[in-house]
Amino acid sequence: MKKILLIQTGGTIAMSAKGEGVELDPEAWSDLLIKQIPELEELAEITTYPLFFEDSSDLNAEHWVNLAKCIDVNYEKYDGFVILHGTDTMAYTASALSFSLQNLSKPVIFTGSQVPMSSVRSDARRNLINSVEMATTELQEVGICFNDHVYRGNRATKLSIGDFDAFGSPNLDPIAEIGLNIELNVEPKKLIPAFENSAAFSNEIFVLTVHPSLSMNILDCLDLTKLKAIIVRTFGSGNFPMKGEYNMIPFFEKCRDHDVIVAIVSQADYD
């Protein structure tokens, strides 16, 4: 039986009912996991590890580094990893780890839930069982497992706050589908270099969304000496204002003069 490390980081899946609301409750979560889903032991030999308990909106690059390190130090001990995570920033963390954990030969599966595990209509049970089973497969990358779909970690995004089918991958088909059987849509690699954790992130990156009437006075307030790069979310296929008071070219020239990298991407999700 394969060995799986189940890493808890918080989020809705770790919440339990408290009076009229819900809150993060590490101890209650551990009890629920054992009592409500005993069949997990039929899928794998599972070790649980509470790395931290946070609302995912409060996570940052430091948490990503700690999570990557946790997988690194346990890499040879386990056959796969499942990370329980809040849905709001799950796609960010999954993407970060997909670039940090290089040459993976094992699955690293993110999952969570829209409803706390303690609730009757929770999707947590389904997502957790699917994720543990996915972690026993031959997948060799970071994925997000949600509502019977598995998406590549750096190609997924949260699409809904109210549906159980909360995630999608606009420009890439799921890397696996879960039904009566698990269908992998990617072929495992036969020759893989040695695993390496290269987690290192910069806070000197700014994401700018272009919109009509974007004031250049606001952009002039940016201290470019403290930035390494700006990711510009433009219209259509890379279009932005080039006339009159909203002309962005002078701003981009200023970025060039300060050696700030400007990366142009589209706001259109399905291209």
Same structural domain, 216 and 189: no
Same structural domain, 27 and 152: yes
- Among 174, 197, 220, which residue terminates a domain? 197
- Quick check: is 271 in a domain? no
pLDDT digits (tens, 9 = 90+) for 242-263: 999 999 999 999 999 999 999 9
CA angle 216, 222, 227 (to 5 degrees): 130
pLDDT digits (tens, 9 = 90+) for 162-213: 899 999 999 999 999 999 999 999 999 888 899 999 999 999 999 999 999 9
Same structural domain, 15 and 82: yes
- Quick check: is 261 in a domain? yes
Domain CATH code at residue 142 = 3.40.50.1170
- Quick check: is 44 in a domain? yes
Which of the residues are catalytic?
12
Domain CATH code at residue 235 = 3.40.50.40
Q: What is the mean pLDDT of the chain?
A: 92
Residue 19 has pLDDT above 80, yes or no: no
- Quick check: is 67 in a domain? yes
Same structural domain, 176 and 215: no
Same structural domain, 221 and 177: no
Specify whether the CB–CB gap between 225 and 257 falls below 8 A: no
Specify whether the CB–CB gap between 101 and 71 falls below 8 A: yes
Better pLDDT: 104 or 23? 104
Same structural domain, 183 and 55: yes
Residues in the chain: 271
pLDDT at 18: 58
Residue 27 has pLDDT above 90, yes or no: no
Indicate the number of domains in the chain.
2
- Among 164, 181, 197, which residue terminates a domain? 197
What predicted TM-score, i.e. pTM, was given to this entire model? 0.92
- Here the tokens at position 74 are 């346990």
- Quick check: is 69 in a domain? yes
Residue 43 CA to residue 215 CA, distance in Å, equals: 56
pLDDT at 39: 86
Whole-Å CA distances, 44 to 48, 135, 158, 202: 12, 9, 28, 37
Same structural domain, 161 and 226: no
- Quick check: is 181 in a domain? yes
Residue 221, domain extent: 205-266
Same structural domain, 101 and 224: no
- Among 197, 229, 254, which residue terminates a domain? 197
- Quick check: is 220 in a domain? yes
pLDDT at 34: 64
Same structural domain, 40 and 174: yes
Same structural domain, 123 and 182: yes
Residue from 258, 208, 199, 260 nearest 233 by CA: 208
Same structural domain, 80 and 211: no
Same structural domain, 126 and 34: yes
- Quick check: is 154 in a domain? yes
